[in-house]
């Protein structure tokens, strides 16, 4: 059977792509963010995952306000990135892991999650940028399964529902008839608001408590309603739902987790940024 080796989390701010393109990683503004990645690069080199399941949110590229699924899973052989813009070269397509995609979908349906199946799917920076951060040399040595969670248009899924979704995905990975090693990745957040009267809002205290809870008490954030999470983290801060799904998946891989490496930094482009790698206690 497949082995779930760990979980990753990172912010996916589009400005990060511009910084990479310009080579600004070691400038004073960007250095605290990019300095968090080398320990995780070393861990990935050691563990060598074959597949990464990415929990992410689409920003109007593949889904728009007229058609917004709560949960969607890609089953394509490749996923073309189409939203770089700003003169940044488009990143190479991501290679799909079709067999695992279908196994996850069948498992989710069996567990009463009504998901949208996407045999063709465009992906935006929320999928491509994390891979660029974790594999900066390019030519990603992994295949992917994108799992899209709606954080754009209400009604949004509850935190507890996303955590349960992650558990179901973790169970699907563990029961997949393959000898491949799989990691799960959360793309997004943490607290930030890009619009309205609270534009620029960041809640450091909540962010740090949330990050700690992912290690010691992963169900902590499920006590909050979506509206409470928006109040505490900002309208875009609800992207932490992806982190909850990632952590939910890891509950199936061992008794608790240990932190490989992590970092929290504010602000980057009016956003609280976090980087995290966890591995299960086996």
% of the chain with per-residue pLDDT over 90: 70
CATH class of 3-280: alpha beta
* CA–CA gap between residue 132 and residue 125 (Å, rounded): 10
Is 125 an active-site residue? yes
Provide the whole-model pTM. Answer: 0.95
Is 12 an active-site residue? no
* CA–CA gap between residue 106 and residue 200 (Å, rounded): 41
- Phi, psi of 57, rounded to the nearest 5 degrees: -120, 135
Per-residue H/E/C for 79-100: EEECCCCCCCCCCCCEEECHHH
The average pLDDT across 147-158 equals 94
The average pLDDT across 234-250 equals 92
Q: What is the pLDDT of residues 1-51, one digit of tens each?
A: 999 999 999 998 888 888 988 899 999 999 999 999 999 999 999 999 999
- The pLDDT, as a whole number, for residue 86 is 57
The average pLDDT across 63-79 equals 93
Q: What is the pLDDT of residues 128-147, one digit of tens each?
A: 899 999 999 878 899 999 99
Q: Outline where the chain has alpha helix (H).
A: 14-22, 31-34, 38-47, 98-110, 125-134, 159-175, 204-216, 226-233, 240-250
Report the chain's C-alpha Rg in angstroms. 17
The b-or-e profile of 106-138 (16+ CB within 10 A means b, else e) is: ebbeeeebebbebeebbbbbbbbbbbbbbbeee
How far, rounded to the nearest angstrom, does the alpha carbon of residue 61 sit from its chain's CA centroid?
17
Q: How confident is the model at residue 85 (pLDDT cuts 50, 70, 90)?
A: low
- The pLDDT, as a whole number, for residue 83 is 67
* CA–CA gap between residue 180 and residue 201 (Å, rounded): 41
Give the single-character DSSP code of 237.
G
Q: In what order do the strands lie in the sheet with 143-149?
A: 116-118, 71-74, 143-149, 51-56, 181-187, 3-10, 271-280, 257-268
Of the listed 12, 103, 192, 265, which one is catalytic? 192
Helices 226-233, 240-250: axis angle to 10 degrees equals 120
Of the listed 12, 103, 125, 265, which one is catalytic? 125
Q: Is the peptide bond before 267 cis (omega within 30 degrees of 0)?
A: yes
Average per-residue pLDDT for the chain? 92
Residue with tokens 């909850």: 244
């Amino acid at each position: 059977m497949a082995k779930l080796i760990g979980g990753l989390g990172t912010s996916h701010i589009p400005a990060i792509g511009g910084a990479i393109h310009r080579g600004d990683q070691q400038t004073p503004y960007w250095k605290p963010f990019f300095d968090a990645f080398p320990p995780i690069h070393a861990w990935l080199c050691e563990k060598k995952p074959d597949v990464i399941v990415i929990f992410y949110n689409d920003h109007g590229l593949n889904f728009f306000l007229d058609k917004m699924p709560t949960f969607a899973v890609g089953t394509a052989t490749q996923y073309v990135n189409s939203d770089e813009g700003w003169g940044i070269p488009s990143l190479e397509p991501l290679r799909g892991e079709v067999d695992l995609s279908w196994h996850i979908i069948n498992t989710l349906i069996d567990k009463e999650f009504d998901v949208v199946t996407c045999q063709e799917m465009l992906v935006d920076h929320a999928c491509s940028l994390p891979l660029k951060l974790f594999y900066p040399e390019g030519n990603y040595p992994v295949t992917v399964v994108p799992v899209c969670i709606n954080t754009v248009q209400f009604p949004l899924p509850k935190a507890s529902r996303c955590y349960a979704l992650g558990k179901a995905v973790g169970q699907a990975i563990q029961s997949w008839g393959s000898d491949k090693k799989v990691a799960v990745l959360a793309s997004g957040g943490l607290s930030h608001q890009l619009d309205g009267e609270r534009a620029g809002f960041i809640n450091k205290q909540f962010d740090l408590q949330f990050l700690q809870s992912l290690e010691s008490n992963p169900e902590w954030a499920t006590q909050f309603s979506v509206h409470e999470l928006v109040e505490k983290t900002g309208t875009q801060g609800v992207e932490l739902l992806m982190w909850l799904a990632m952590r939910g998946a890891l509950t199936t891989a061992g008794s608790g987790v240990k932190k490989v490496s992590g970092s929290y930094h504010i602000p980057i482009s009016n956003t609280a940024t976090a980087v995290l790698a966890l591995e299960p206690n086996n």
